[in-house]
Structure 1
């Protein structure tokens, strides 16, 4: 009885008396569990498994347990990362195929992916100038070709609720700013600091193709011109004649935007001297935009004479002297002339026989300009008489009389008029009837152009067009006689003839 009782007690203490139970064996090691898992799944390459086990045995370290002094091997789990078998070049090709929306998440995988993802970044916008001066920008993104430095050059007041905006610059301002109305100059880094950053950037990124900067000097731009021979696009804000001495060394520059004076932000002067320096140095320009720049006939003529590849010229809020419009005719290969936010065109353009014209011009684009002076508008259409497209958007003062000067443009194929409240149906009809090659017409938000005033001849002209967008006034009603041409319904109509 005592024997059976003792045996029963032993069974109660050890519910699994099987001598082959894992509890009776030696302690299980991590390497055994890992091998057991890999043998049940898809077989790996035998050479990879052998190399992995060899590294496990060499890099693992013994650790004693508090209970039974069992030696446990801690494997190097990085060997399980199969991407380690790929070279950097191959992994870069894979990461480059992924969408940009996954860029941030890919950078969080590991340090290697962070560095590789940084090598794929080509464009960046700098918010902290110390990021450039410390060298972290180049170390993090070594293959940049487009850098926007403008936000980093400004000491922004993020806590302020006052936001100042213009066509070229936006920034927060402090309520305690001085009342001289040049807020940007008060919150800009010193010129020496900006030049040092430009020099460091140019030395580390010789393949830069596009740079945007504000407040730089001649020396800073000269370092970019010398170290970055492939630079093709440049935007300079707060530019002056002296600064353009450095930009003249950019022999391969093709796209240039110069911002001289911006009301409420900063004041600087670009005159005929700077335009002449620019013309003699950057002879391969294709697109040129002048914002808030001064000048006259001499500066525009120098650009036309020297920059023979120029195809697009944009003037925004210009401060040109009288007579500058005659210099545009020297741009023999100019295809697009764009005027935006100009308070005047040319108050004294001179005699028409001296204006000339641009024989290669294809597009005249006027946006948010004041077209109140008859001499200015007449001279503008005379210089652009070869234009095939005329686009007029939100321009003040354009009435029937001023729009009538556009009849000199005999080759117009597209007319787009938007937001011209003084233009009437009669004034529009008198001009477009003289254009025998007109194919496309777009009229939007011109409240004095009424559907009820459409004549039968104008309705017939509409039927011959390949493209028509007619939405002058959505409140007007379409006469029953014109319903067959599908116009005047709610929201307007837009069609193309194939």
Structure 2
């Protein structure tokens, strides 16, 4: 066994898919431990205290996940140690039975912000999927840096990033590779931001758009979304009373729509449903609690 080189051990490891078996492989000896670390492409971290040591062992990571509070310094270390990263998921799941306001306050003080996202963007140009959901310190500066440095972005999730506004949507609208955009609960977004999305390059690439609980948008902005000719899934749930059948009928011009969520839009009614039925041939699912 001592004569086996890194290449041979890597070939053997490629046939080991079970997580526990790969762990056993790494425990044979220091050589096997090192090879397993070099071959690891994804990791989910629950404790960040030993992050620098951990990342030194796994320099070829492509996917990194954690739902724990993480600092700007941590992201700078991740970018420096693992420049091949393509997928990062930092989404925080809201704990059950926890007051929303208290949870948000606790999570934001020491949590990652624009400085960390900028470091990640500068160090990991191959990023394609980024989720920063519920990271309350993420704002426009971080989003702009991400769009400037990472040219292969396909999936962006800034749900409940309450500092993200129309300025970020201007940069996103200019991108030409994004297919999934989640802006759930980004309450600073207005019709102006939707105009940037609808008139930019991304209007031809975005297939899934989540605007649920963006309660500043109105019929004027929603009407512009009909320019997104490839849109397949649109979520406008709980966007408020300023969206009416005027916006709903305009959306029906998007013939590529397959899924549409209009839940709790109290001023959307039968005219919208009729227009959707007449103009959206591939529409398979419409959600709407009040229509």
Question: After TM superposition, is the score higher than 0.5?
Answer: yes
Cα 1:345/1:81, change in 2 over 3 Å: farther
Cα 1:392/1:207, change in 2 over 3 Å: closer
**Larger relative contact order, structure 1 or 2 (CA cutoff 8 Å, min sep 6):** 2
Q: What SS does the corresponding residue of 2:236 show, helix, strand or coil?
A: strand
2:265/2:290 contact within 8 Å kept: no
Gaps of 5+ in 2: 41-57
Q: How far is the alpha carbon of 1:335 from its aligned partner?
A: 2.8
2:118/2:145 contact within 8 Å kept: yes
**Partner Cα separation in structure 1 for residue 189 and residue 79 of structure 2:** 33
Cα 1:104/1:378, change in 2 over 3 Å: farther
**Partner Cα separation in structure 2 for residue 110 and residue 334 of structure 1:** 50
**Partner Cα separation in structure 2 for residue 392 and residue 190 of structure 1:** 39
**Partner Cα separation in structure 2 for residue 392 and residue 280 of structure 1:** 26
Cα 1:136/1:388, change in 2 over 3 Å: closer
Q: What SS does the corresponding residue of 1:170 show, helix, strand or coil?
A: coil
- 1:344 is aligned to 265
1:154-303 alignment to 2 at 5 Å?
169-171=93-95, 182-189=101-108, 193-213=112-132, 214-215=135-136, 216-237=138-159, 238=161, 239-260=164-185, 268-281=187-200, 282-283=202-203, 284-294=205-215, 295-303=217-225
Q: How far is the alpha carbon of 1:132 from its aligned partner?
A: 5.6
**Partner Cα separation in structure 2 for residue 196 and residue 173 of structure 1:** 31
Q: What SS does the corresponding residue of 1:346 show, helix, strand or coil?
A: coil
Aligned alpha-carbon RMSD (Å)? 3.2
Cα 1:220/1:388, change in 2 over 3 Å: closer
Q: How far is the alpha carbon of 1:208 from its aligned partner?
A: 1.0
**Partner Cα separation in structure 2 for residue 321 and residue 392 of structure 1:** 16
Alignment partner for residue 150 of structure 1, among 91, 98, 112?
Answer: 91
Cα 1:252/1:124, change in 2 over 3 Å: same
Q: Say yes or no: does 1:122 pair with 2:62.
A: yes
Q: How far is the alpha carbon of 1:134 from its aligned partner?
A: 6.1
**Partner Cα separation in structure 1 for residue 185 and residue 289 of structure 2:** 24
Cα 1:246/1:173, change in 2 over 3 Å: farther
Alignment partner for residue 275 of structure 2, among 363, 375, 382?
Answer: 382
Q: How far is the alpha carbon of 1:310 from its aligned partner?
A: 2.0
Q: What SS does the corresponding residue of 2:198 show, helix, strand or coil?
A: helix
1:145/1:205 contact within 8 Å kept: yes
1:144/1:208 contact within 8 Å kept: yes
Cα 1:390/1:113, change in 2 over 3 Å: closer
1:268-417 alignment to 2 at 5 Å?
268-281=187-200, 282-283=202-203, 284-294=205-215, 295-305=217-227, 307-319=228-240, 320-322=242-244, 323-331=246-254, 333-339=255-261, 342-344=263-265, 346-347=267-268, 376-385=269-278, 386-387=280-281, 390-391=284-285
* TM-score, length of structure 1 as denominator length: 0.45
* TM-score, length of structure 2 as denominator length: 0.73
- 2:17 is aligned to 99
**Partner Cα separation in structure 2 for residue 245 and residue 392 of structure 1:** 29
Q: What SS does the corresponding residue of 2:120 show, helix, strand or coil?
A: helix
Q: How far is the alpha carbon of 1:148 from its aligned partner?
A: 1.0
Q: How far is the alpha carbon of 1:172 from its aligned partner?
A: 6.3
Q: How far is the alpha carbon of 1:128 from its aligned partner?
A: 4.2
- 1:137 is aligned to 78
- What is the aligned residue count? 256
Q: If you compute each CA radius of gyration, which structure gives the higher value, 1 or 2?
A: 1
Q: Say yes or no: does 1:111 pair with 2:38.
A: no
State the Cα deviation string for residues 242-266 of structure 1 (Å, max 9, x = none).
43234334332111111125xxxxx
